Each structure stands twice: as structure tokens, then as C-alpha cells.
A = this chain, B = another copy of it.
């Protein structure tokens, strides 16, 4: 396929980027092999270049490699998982990243400095802008890791007791949110395949709705609108978060 001419030099092929984004996936089983400090620094050097609202760069990172500390952080994060399982038993908790965090040789805890919200205009919701910025940072981080052959996952925290515990463990000041924990390491492909076989919803993670179904030209095309029933059906068949009883062994 030809590429478009433009003022910018062609710094990367479209095909290379597409393959990188398509190949990125959440890995929950890691080999114990360590990751070099140089690799971590290179990954974070891309993460810090992510776009943020007003260039506010809310992110800082705590990199945890110490095995005992990784276990403690993972245990704190996993309490979200246990509480969630009680409250929402229909959810496919087999996809949860938290119980596997301790396996990865490196945990990158992504902090958000709430104080930068003062940079945003008061007419917009700063909380959303900050969290969008942090998401950009995590995606850039994950793509950089993938470009080095390293696997990651996206562990979400949202306040509550796991956040307080991790704050204490890592001595994180109160000004920071602790929204994301990204495990980094080399994928254990054998264990990944075994886990996928036990969790039927897992393979859905790489599926996407076809382009034509989600693109509207000039105006929203009413004939493409999903009914509420179609969205419900999509959630149960195409997301990774819900599994019918028949294939819920992974729970």
C-alpha cells in the first residue's frame, strides 16, 4: 500500500505501528527472567512523551523490582479482586490482572499528581482530563515495552483500601492518585496458552468490531445504531468481562 506524502518525514511505517498496536495484549503469566534497568528507563522515556491535557504531565513512576515488595503490592491490589468477586459474581474475574502482579519481575506503579489539575480551565472537569492523560501515558508505556519484546498488562486501581495500602508500602505522597499498575516482563507463553485454554473469554481480548460497523460518514448512520439488546449481546459475547455459565470454568 502506498503512504501519503506529507510535510513530516516518514519516521515509522504505518504497517509497523499497526502491527505493534495489534500485537499488544495483556499478559498475566511471566517468566522469572529479570528486565534490565536500561530497558525500564527506555520504556519510561517513551511514556513521559505521551500527550497530556495542557502538557500537564501528571505522571510519575515507582518501579518495584524487589520480590518481597512486589508480593506485598500484589497482595494489596488483589484485595480489590476479592472484594469485587463478592459484589459482582457475574463478572469474569479470571481476566483480572491483580492476582498475577507478583509474578512479573517488574511492577511499574503509575502515579498521577492531582495538583496539576490547577493547569486546566475550570470549565472542564479536571479529574477526567488528568485520568485521560494518565491513560495516554500507560498506552505509550505499553507500546514501548512491546517494541522491546516485553509483555505488559493493565492493572487498574481506583482509590479505596488497595490504594491506601500501596501508598503506605511505597511511601507515596497524598497528592498522587495510584490508578494503574503495569507489570513488565517476558511472557511465559506456555503458561499463557494453558490459562487461555481454561478461560474461554480470554481469546476475545484481541477481537474488535469491524471498521464499517463503527465508522459513520458525514452523519451518524441510523441503520448502524445498535439496539440495547445488541449491546447486551455484545457485552456477553465480545468483551472479556462476562461469561455464560457454560464456559465460565475460568472463574
Contacts and interface: CB of A to CB of B under 8 A. Distances in A.
Interface of A: 1, 3-8, 10-14, 16-24, 26, 35-36, 39, 41-42, 44-46, 48-51, 53-57, 59-66, 69, 80, 83-84, 87-88, 91, 93, 95, 111, 113, 115-116, 118-125, 128-129, 131-136, 139-140, 142-144, 146-151, 154, 156, 158, 170-173, 186-187, 189, 204-205, 207-209, 211, 214-220, 222, 225-226, 228, 231-232, 234-235, 238-242
B119 A239 contact: yes
Given A14-B144, A41-B215, 16 more contacts: A4-B149, A7-B187, A8-B146, A11-B19, A12-B12, A44-B215, A48-B208, A61-B215, A84-B123, A113-B231, A120-B241, A125-B158, A132-B134, A136-B139, A171-B219, A171-B220
A87 B124 CA distance: 11
Given A64-B218, A121-B88, A123-B88, A54 B132 contact: no
A200 to B, nearest CB: 14
Contacts of A146: 8, 11
Nearest to A35: B4
Contact of A173 (B4, B147, B225): B225
Given A12-B12, A17-B20, A46-B17, A149 B84 contact: no
**Number of this chain's copies in the complex:** 2
A3 B139 contact: no
Given A204-B55, A220-B173, A150 B6 contact: yes
Given A55-B204, A240-B55, A48 B211 contact: yes
Contacts of A55: 204-205, 207, 238-241
